[in-house]
Amino acid sequence: MRTRLIKVDKWNPEEKLLEEAAKIVKGGGLVAFPTETVYGLGANALDENAVLSIFRAKNRPVDNPLIVHVSRMEDVHQLAHLNEMALKFMERFWPGPVTLVLPAKGVVPKVTTGGLETVAVRMPNHPVALGLIDKAQVPIAAPSANRSGRPSPTDAEAVMEDMKNRVDVILDSGPTDVGVESTVLYVRNKEVVLLRHGGCPLEVLEEVAPVLVPTKDNSSAKHSPGTRYRHYAPSVPVVIIDEVGRWKEHPAYLNNISNVGFVGLSAPPVETKEEIRFDSVVHYGRGLFAALRAMERWSVGVILVELPSESGIGAAVRDRLIRAASEWE
Ligand code: TXA
Ligand code: MG
């Protein structure tokens, strides 16, 4: 297939263009589209074959379930069994970067849920995403629109880089706002468990209800299936600048001392060939994935990264950096 890149106005999406893309979704095709977090790779969530083609296009393990996107609160009822706690989170945070994992209803194909009894749902806060879902008249399953294991795409160029001729259409409305993916919560009536740090910080979620944060030792089963896999990694080794200085002995650094890239907030600790510095942790979140992809294009030999502190969006940025680096440890 040949991928068509269609520019769409973010705030006033052209009806005709949305309808065109929606027709492709209805017909079982693949449409990459912007959300407030990252670009998604969308297909009709209720069409088994269409969903299977998402997995093929991304080269994604089939037991890693997808998030189903809706454009109206009431559309969740057809997909999942709601509880009071879920309603509270929806009321407060939708549309927005909060994904809720709930008991699935029978209409949701097993390929969409990775064989689980639960389904992840979210209502994105982006006019193009909402317009597309609305016009398609079906919920849209959409993982991030990167090849499996790579940094998520935060603009249409990054989607093209990974997905050229693997999707029918890319709707391009410029760079995304949040830059890291949605926060994923497992929601029971009395218990809310964090499955993935993301665009909505814990401190903000906890204004609604306490959120349990699983640690490595207290439960591996409670992590989201996707977090088991290598993730967010560019093709260049990522090395975290740790406080005790172990990074200075990392072979990827030692082998590339004259070809270092740096991504972070402060001044880099060594001489660099390329550096990208953000002036706030919010900007770090917004620009992180694009920065990793830029370093790749600039052919640095190693990317040294600085972890921000854990508060606010910092927790999600840290999580993505640690995963991006873990492949190379
Ligand atoms: O911001 C986002 O969430 C973006 C945009 C496109 O909406 N999507 C996204 O999708 O990041 P993806 O597939 O890259 O990540 C979805 C995460 C994975 O870690 C997956 O394992 C988890 O959500 N997940 C999906 N369904 C689940 C379920 N039923 N139970 C537990 N975790 C689930
Ligand atoms: Mg992803």
Decide: 144 and 155 in contact? Cβ < 8 Å. no
**Ligand having the closest approach to the CA of 143:** 1
In the chain, CATH 3.40.50.11030 sits at 238-324
Kindly compute the dihedral angle of the four CA atoms of residues 33, 36, 40, 43, in this order, to the nearest 10 degrees: -70
pLDDT digits (tens, 9 = 90+) for 61-74: 999 999 999 999 99
Tell the CATH topology of 238-324: Rossmann fold (3.40.50)
Strand, coil or helix: 202: helix
6 with 17: CB under 8 angstroms?
Answer: yes
To test ligand 1's pocket by mutation, which of 68, 71, 181 has the most ligand atoms within 8 angstroms of CB? Answer: 181
What pLDDT score does 136 carry?
98
Percent over 70 (pLDDT), the chain: 95
Over residues 142-171, mean pLDDT: 98
* Confidence (pLDDT) at 215: 82
Q: Where in the chain is the domain with CATH 3.90.870.10?
A: 4-223
- CATH class of the 4-223 domain in this structure: alpha beta
The residue behind tokens 């989607």 is: 159
Structure tokens at 253: 């650094």
Residues near ion ligand 2 (Cβ under 5 Å)? 144
**Do the beta carbons of residue 5 and residue 16 sit within 8 Å?**
no
pLDDT tens digit string along 181-233? 999 999 998 899 999 999 999 999 999 999 999 987 665 555 667 666 668 88
Cα(137)–Cα(36) distance, integer angstroms: 21
Kindly state the average pLDDT of the residues 172-181. Answer: 98
What's the pLDDT at 225? Answer: 74
Question: What's the pLDDT band for 44 if we cut at 50, 70, 90?
Answer: very high
Ligand nearest to the CA of 229: 1
Distance CA 3, CA 313 (A): 33
- Residue 40 CA: which ligand 1 atom is closest? 6
Ligand 1, pocket residues at CB < 6 Å:
35, 37-38, 40, 64-67, 97, 99, 101, 113, 116, 118-120, 124, 142-144, 181-182, 184, 195-196, 224-227
Mean pLDDT, the chain, whole residue set: 95
